[in-house]
Amino acid sequence: MLKFLLTFGIFGNFSTALQLYRKSKFFYPFYTMHVRFHNAYVPFSCTIGKGVTFPHGIDGCFFSCDTIIGDNCVIMQHVTIGSTIYGGGKRAGAPRIGNNVFIGAGAKIIGRITIGDNAKIGAGCIVAEDVPNGAVCVMPKPRIILK
């Protein structure tokens, strides 16, 4: 019953739950329950811009601490936006996502990289380097290997 209320009630989607939490810390338990029921991890230390949408819900999404997501982005299900801390180096840290970016289902964005404005990340892509403004990032063509 509680999951039903969180999913379809006043806290119907992630954006609503986040907006209510930002208005009043009273809604903290409802926000955390909403995220946990959807098997997601979105810490409060990450910055999520206005107008960010999750067309298929926040199911399975993982956002690292200190991640910055710009305005009007579209993020599909099971997306990982994670930081790297091992080995240090210039790529250690959290990603920065620009404005109006589309991130396809199952995409992985790892490290201190920048995704430019109006970029598109295809489904299942693993991105570990900067993507310029307006670029489209897709994985190589699938191969069939016969034994």
Over residues 83-119, the pLDDT tens digits come to: 877 656 676 789 999 999 999 999 999 989 999 999 9
Average pLDDT of span 118-137: 93
Residue 17 vs residues 31, 67, 77: alpha-carbon distances, Å: 5, 19, 17
Average pLDDT of span 125-141: 90
CA–CA separation, 6 and 123 (whole Å): 28
Give the residue with greater pLDDT, 41 vs 36.
41
CA–CA separation, 137 and 147 (whole Å): 30
- Percent of the chain clearing pLDDT 90 (strictly above): 37
Domains and their CATH numbers in the chain: 1-37 (no CATH), 41-137 (2.160.10.10)
Strands laid side by side in the 114-115 sheet: 47-48, 68-69, 96-97, 114-115
Q: Does residue 1 surpass a pLDDT of 50?
A: no
Q: Does residue 25 surpass a pLDDT of 70?
A: no
